Amino acid sequence: MLLRNLRIFRSSGVISTLPITATKDYIHLRQFHTSKHLLKRSRDNKLSKKAQQEENRLIDKLLEDTDADDEIRPPSIDIREKKKQLALEKGLMKAKMTRELNEQVRENMGVIRGYDKLLKTDPLQRVKVNLDDTKDIQKFSDFFVHCGPLLRTFKNHLGSDLPTDFQRKIFTLSTGQLSTIAKGDSGSGRTMALIMMAMCLNRHRARGPGVSTLIIVKSNDLVLKYQQIITKVYQDLVNLMKTIPIPREQRLSFENIDEEETILKYKNINEMAQFLYRSDATTELKQQEIIAENPLPHILVSTPHRLLDLLSTRGMNFLKINNVQQILVDDFDTMIDPETYLDSDKTAPVVLLLDYVLKLQDYNRKHRDPHPMICFTVSSSCNNSLIEQIKEEKQWFDWKKFVPIGSFESPGSLPIHKSVPDNVSLGSVLVLPVIDETVSENVDNKKKTRKSKKKSKGKNNFKVELYDMTPFEYGSDMRTWIDKSYRTTEGHDAYYFKHRNKRLNAARKVKDIGFEILISGFIELHKRKELGLKQEKLLFVHPDSVNGTQVRDFLKKTKRKGKVFNFSDGDESFFVDDQNKNDFLIINSSALPSLTFNGLKTIVVLGNETIKNMSNFITIAGRIRNDKKGLISEDRFPELLDVSENGQRSLASSTTKNSNNSDSDKGRIFLINSLFEFDHYDRNYLERLFIRGGLVDQFSPCGVLEPGFDQDAYNSTFVPDYTFQYFNDGHEFQLDEE
Ligand SMILES: Nc1ncnc2c1ncn2[C@@H]1O[C@H](COP(=O)(O)OP(=O)(O)OP(=O)(O)O)[C@@H](O)[C@H]1O
């Protein structure tokens, strides 16, 4: 073989001699390299066409032989294989790098404070905020250019031009039209963020006419809240523009904005924004008339129900939402099943609406951003399975332009930081009804006097005793918290809700008595001077099974006045409005999301049943604000876990307290349950809520512990079904079913 090749080379006239040495391997190697080298040279030589053909034929043959004959192929240098291998590795490396970068972006976006130049990946390159790295404080104007006067109006409205941490994150993404599911704590400025994003948006010219921002909110009250804020800001803006005492042209250059690009181009509020909610026939008709006159408002705010009503009765030509630039959903998780999210038997109206609206969008348009930007705000109790489900089941997002805000992964599904802020303490009161001998004697006594008859009329034949529920000892071991929250068969929300529903199906009369016990308990509590409840205005939160007027009527017994919440009456400012002489504001727990009650310090919750689920619990507690603006500062949500060297997690900041709320800054929640009904499952539900809320601070309002609580019997009802194991770094653990 070797000799044959040598002959070929000689006959091609390219070489005359080839060094042959005694070592076989050396010959192979040397020959291989030399052959290749000479082959290349021979191709380069200017031979006659015929000679070249012959040359090529021979070269090809040689190459074939080279490939076929292992003897002359150097054992470890197969160039083609090597090349393939390299290409593969390069590809893999590139994919790995892209993955790593994406992960880095995703992680960093959770804590992003602005534009980080170093992370040059697709999503971040889209972010247009070009912040000076040395600048720590960003203002609204860093995110929204061309909105000078509007931002000035917002500044007047909020008393500040500094965004909250949550707002910084969501505004950063919106500058690049990046979609998000944004997790935010109570009072982090979520609602205001959406309002600003809608009002400061300049519609892409290429999109043509249409509704620019569709905002979907849970309740009628919330639509009214959006209406109130948007209308006020718009009016203030119009007034501001009227008062600027310089000619229009100069005014524009002075402000360095193009006025036509701002919302001032809309001639009136109806052109700028419209608000849809279910109401009486006249109001609904009025809403339709406004749409008919102004079919393309810049902003459309609606509840899912009302928009579905309109789309099904009037069709999509009536309301042009087929070409929106942004879809913003406030408190998305409160509109779906809070436990199973989309995996529920019933499709939630908001899901139906999003399916429909997003199908309507014209994806084939040839402008740069055909897919609308979508932002959902969600509460801090949401976990990763929400994003996973939406990814699996829905075509809503363009995932290439999606970055979540906040951490959806958490060790053991416990929150990384508190979700019930530490400006709130909770006292759990148990009410024991005791037969009141004096009243029952009077009732039984056939020979009652007229006076005693009068006295017993309308009075219960029981009195009440109040006790503190035994506070939960959280301990400092994270494994115990996880065990208690997730790993017991009977200690699950689904199990508890079934149990609770059975009780809710009881006869009306039984329920009424239960309710009466709770209110009587509150009346007794209210008398206790040391709690100072008589000097305060209180928020009364009640469950669906009673209505506000019932609660108000019962509360008359305290000789203080109550008012059932009505947004239109300006009840958000109930606690700071000195003109309002009522003492109690009464509201259903489902109506609470997104309401801001400035000055609120004390909440009374009527029974476990009022707390619908974890997210509702966070919402109730999140109504108490420690800041005059109505925000809750970030440091009120401290980290829950402190990972020590041995991988054990120790309690970072929260402890059980047995005080009557000595911290004057703290708000109080009085949760009232009837000892008559309160069983292990109720207690366990609370324990899980308290742990998952971030080890809620507890206080003891009554100073007397409940009688007869058997801690061992309770513990043995909720035994963990799983064990787990820590990895060295203390973060990871593995569940093993026992
Ligand atoms: N950047 C800001 N500067 C000052 N005040 C603000 C700012 N953002 C919002 N606020 C005010 O803080 C209060 C709460 O804001 P907002 O309702 O947006 O919070 P939220 O996160 O939606 O609260 P919730 O827990 O009710 O959902 C409002 O009165 C609002 O006007």
C-alpha dist (Å) from residue 487 to 271, 451, 720, 732, 735? 54, 59, 5, 17, 10
Range 641-656 average pLDDT: 46
pLDDT in tens, 479-508: 788 888 877 878 888 889 988 888 877 777
Predicted ipTM beyond 0.90? yes
Residue 85 lies in a domain: no
Share of the chain above pLDDT 70, in %: 68
Instruction: Mark whether 428 and 364 lie in a shared domain.
Output: no
Residue 723 lies in a domain: no
Instruction: Mark whether 181 and 325 lie in a shared domain.
Output: yes
326 lines ligand 1 (CB under 6 A): no
Instruction: Mark whether 446 and 398 lie in a shared domain.
Output: no
Ligand 1 mutation target, pool 405, 629, 632, 637, most atoms within 8 A of CB:
629
Please name the residue whose Cα sits nearest to atom 9 of ligand 1: 189
Residue 498 lies in a domain: yes
210 lines ligand 1 (CB under 6 A): no
Residue 329 bridge partners (DSSP): 216, 376
Domain boundary among 405, 437, 465: 405
What are φ and ψ of residue 735, in 5° steps?
-95, 135
Instruction: Mark whether 514 and 454 lie in a shared domain.
Output: yes
Q: What is the largest CA-CA distance in the chain?
A: 142
Instruction: Mark whether 59 and 140 lie in a shared domain.
Output: no
* Full residue range of the structural domain in which residue 279 is found: 111-405
What is the per-residue pLDDT for 723?
59
Domain boundary among 26, 51, 77: 77
Share of the chain above pLDDT 90, in %: 37
Tokens of 180: 């998000």
Rounded distance from Cα 193 to ligand 1 centre (Å) = 8
Residue 83 lies in a domain: no
Instruction: Mark whether 400 and 449 lie in a shared domain.
Output: no
Rounded distance from Cα 61 to ligand 1 centre (Å) = 80
Instruction: Mark whether 42 and 121 lie in a shared domain.
Output: no
Instruction: Mark whether 400 and 430 lie in a shared domain.
Output: no
Instruction: Mark whether 154 and 266 lie in a shared domain.
Output: yes
| pLDDT over 70 (residue 43) | no
Tokens of 52: 């070249």
CATH code of 288's domain: 3.40.50.300
What is the per-residue pLDDT for 686?
96
What is the per-residue pLDDT for 647?
42
Which atom of ligand 1 is the closest one to the Cα of 193? 18
Instruction: Mark whether 433 and 399 lie in a shared domain.
Output: no
- The number of folded domains in the chain is 3
Instruction: Mark whether 122 and 269 lie in a shared domain.
Output: yes
Please name the residue whose Cα sits nearest to atom 10 of ligand 1: 189
Instruction: Mark whether 53 and 164 lie in a shared domain.
Output: no
Residue 106 lies in a domain: no
Residue 703 lies in a domain: yes
What is the per-residue pLDDT for 101?
46
DSSP class of residue 576 equals T
How many Å is the Cα radius of gyration of the chain? 35
Residue 429 lies in a domain: yes
192 lines ligand 1 (CB under 6 A): yes
What's the mean pLDDT when you consider all of the chain?
77
pLDDT in tens, 45-94: 444 566 666 656 655 654 455 444 444 444 444 666 666 666 666 555 55
Residues 603/667, Cβ–Cβ less than 8 Å: yes
Ligand 1 mutation target, pool 158, 335, 603, most atoms within 8 A of CB:
158
Q: Which residues of 130-142 are buried (b: 16+ CB within 10 A; e: fewer)?
A: ebeeeeeebebeb
Distance CA 422, CA 416 (A): 14
Residue 95 lies in a domain: no
